[in-house]
Structure 1
Amino acid sequence: MRRTPADSPERPEAGGAGLHVVVVGATGNVGTSVVSALSEDPAVASVLGLARRVPGWRPAKTRWRAVDVEPGGEDLVPLFTGADAVVHLAWKFQPTHHPADTWRTNVLGSLRVFDAVAAAGVPALVHASSVGAYSPGPKDRAVDETWPTHGWPQAAYTREKAYLERVLDTYELKHAEIRVVRMRPGFLFKRESASEQRRIFAGRLLPGRLVRPGLVPAVPDLPGLRFQALHTDDAASAYRAAVALPVRGAFNLAAEPPVDSDVLARLFDARSLSMPAGPVRAALAAAWRLHLVPASPDLFDAVLRLPLMDATRAREELSWEPLYTSVEAVGEFLAGLRAGAGADTAPLAADRTLRQRLDGLADRLVTA
């Protein structure tokens, strides 16, 4: 019998008809789509969204709590007690120059979440893994969920995702009573995530308004540049199904077709230019060392080595089918990038306009 806390007023009241779900990391690209999908599901009675900062966004059936999952943060057990499922999405991509910082949130924070799920007696844990957890693999055929998950050891993101796969291997043996689901999506895009993803991966060197057809002369055709993309809302529908259905194990999530230089060239109305990866990596590495771009060259290496995934299991066991093609998902993201799109949460905050930036700079000069 699950316990129900009496001292957590922010937590959705347990015991009512329907599912009570806690979403950890509820305000980012994936979190906002997952919360929306759950809040619109008649089978879900309540959603408790946990994030470092409470958003202004107020979806139906959802309450918020400001929580940091890092060691030393608030005890998670009272917040999880009485839940039917915990969906763990919290992840920190930066700073790539200080991987110990991301390790503290992504690995040690995840361990706190996993342990609290067990201590609170939550029957289901749905964890956000990634295509990045996979070992290097083929680009000419799709692999299923049995492909090795050792990541690419040089990149912090893939290293951390792979490490948590090993943690969950042991966790499932120790806690056989908990239904553990690992979601392994490809690259996730939506319009509202554009500003956040520009800040995380490209930084200030990529003015969003310039990423439009006709202004990009060529797209580099690099060896290994073939990856899978998915609209974030489609990924969220798979998460919702994993919460509700009695499934376990890993699920690949990807839409068709795979994205390569030809697909990107059509999106930009540009030509595809074949070139070796070395010069592109060298330029990225120099910019990263100078702190001009936040994405590390090691992540670039990982992307060129990621396998293509077979999403048959998700289609069959989750009755899942993406509504958007990969091209539509990337196209929507690019449109959001040009518009500086965002949403009413701290991670998804829209890019400020040039006028706002100049006004802010003038204010700082005056006060200085």
Structure 2
Amino acid sequence: MRIVITGATGNMGTALLRRLTADGHDLVGLARRIPEGSTDPRVAWRSVDLTTGESAYELADAFAGADAVVHLAWGFQPSHDVGHLERLGVDGTRRVIRAAVVAGVPHLVHQSSLGVYSPRSDDTPVDESWPTHGVRTSPYSQHKVAAERLCDEAEGGDLTITRLRPGIIGQRAAGSSLLRYGVPAPVPARALGLLPVLPLDRRLRIPVVHADDVADAYARVLDQRPTGAFNLAAPDPLTAVAIAAAFGARLVHVPSSVMRPAMSAAWHLRLQQVDPGWLDMAFALPLLDSGRARTELGWTPTRTAVETFAEVVDGMRTGASAPTPVLRPRTVRSALRDAVRHGTVGRRERS
């Protein structure tokens, strides 16, 4: 199949490329910043910025003759520029859908998120019928909901739309990227192994899934072309105890109600890049029942949430990376250089 992938240089995109190239597909990778020096003849790269009006024409041209489009492109930074994130995530999705229709693409696979779900009432995992109104205080969640509404509007025509709603996606190669977003520039990666305690609410439960397992679900969806949504998560969620253990630290219970004001203040002061809406999601979103994916796709995750997170932490400690601009290596020197030249990740202009 000829498959076009938006956001092909990111965490999920790199894992999907690994899987689909191994399966022998003809691939087109789209990203604002494309890799340099790629020699794999099975991947043709095109630079497209989904926040611009011109991208509508570029997308339609790239989609011509495609058997399927996988839409992964999304933005997480700069977190203080919510308008930019909305233009990329919501307006970008609108342009992708329109271009797919114009180009006559038969199948669109949209990467949604557990972030579309409404707050939970308890720890019972929910299936795809759970309400999708998101978490009000999270821009990420609200943008994901808006993107799904665009998919709702496009359904019913010649374009088959499949939505995947994974938990938090992890892989070792994302280590440098996560360090860049989550750890201040002067802090070396090895400091992660020196944490004596980890202040965290012991009630935390997070659905997690490995990037390679999500890529396997994509491969099955592309082959079978089902409609509707599919939850994807390892059977057991990641707990606060497991997070502390992965860092070799002792868990110190700090209620989320205490953590949120501190996190919000640090974000507003631009001391860290993660907005407090992510903390709200962590304690509001439900756990995921992946029964539909198991039954209809024959999908089974190969890693547990604990195994996936341990791999991610190892990647952070060792500065693991991939040969793409998004997953480029992170060092203290490079992080400080970027901060001096462009400002912190949370506020810098796109470049």
Compute the TM-score of the two structures, normalised by the length of structure 2. 0.91
How big is the shift at 1:266? 2.2
How big is the shift at 1:204? 3.1
Match of 2:172 among 174, 191, 197: 191
Compute the TM-score of the two structures, normalised by the length of structure 1. 0.87
Q: How does 1:162-181 map to 2 (within 5 A)?
A: 162-173=145-156, 175=157, 177-181=158-162
Corresponding residue for residue 66 of structure 1: 47
- Structure 2: give runs of 5+ residues left out of the alignment: 342-351
What secondary structure does 1:235 align onto?
Answer: helix
Relative to structure 1, the CA distance from residue 39 to residue 300 in structure 2 (aligned partners, 3 Å threshold; closer, same or farther) is same
Asked if 1 retains the 8 angstrom alpha-carbon contact of 2:208 and 2:237, the reply is yes
How big is the shift at 1:324? 1.3
What secondary structure does 1:94 align onto?
Answer: coil
Asked if 1 retains the 8 angstrom alpha-carbon contact of 2:202 and 2:239, the reply is no
- C-alpha separation in 1, matches of 2:196 and 2:107: 49
- Identical residues among aligned pairs (%): 40
Q: Which residue identity is paired with 2:7?
A: G
How big is the shift at 1:305? 0.6
Relative to structure 1, the CA distance from residue 360 to residue 41 in structure 2 (aligned partners, 3 Å threshold; closer, same or farther) is closer
- Is 1:142 the counterpart of 2:122 in the alignment? no
Corresponding residue for residue 275 of structure 1: 254
- Structure 1: give runs of 5+ residues left out of the alignment: 1-18, 364-368
What secondary structure does 2:133 align onto?
Answer: coil
How big is the shift at 1:161? 0.3
What secondary structure does 2:185 align onto?
Answer: helix
Relative to structure 1, the CA distance from residue 292 to residue 62 in structure 2 (aligned partners, 3 Å threshold; closer, same or farther) is same
What secondary structure does 1:195 align onto?
Answer: helix
Number of residues of Structure 1 aligned to a counterpart in Structure 2 = 338
Q: Which residue identity is paired with 2:291?
A: T
- C-alpha separation in 2, matches of 1:358 and 1:136: 38
How big is the shift at 1:210? 1.4
- C-alpha separation in 2, matches of 1:79 and 1:254: 31
- Is 1:36 the counterpart of 2:15 in the alignment? no
How big is the shift at 1:58? 4.1
Relative to structure 1, the CA distance from residue 69 to residue 284 in structure 2 (aligned partners, 3 Å threshold; closer, same or farther) is same
- C-alpha separation in 2, matches of 1:92 and 1:39: 25
- C-alpha separation in 2, matches of 1:307 and 1:108: 27
Asked if 2 retains the 8 angstrom alpha-carbon contact of 1:71 and 1:112, the reply is no
- C-alpha separation in 1, matches of 2:121 and 2:4: 36
- C-alpha separation in 2, matches of 1:362 and 1:118: 43
Deviates more, 1:131-140 or 1:22-31: 131-140
What secondary structure does 2:75 align onto?
Answer: coil
Q: Which residue identity is paired with 2:16?
A: V
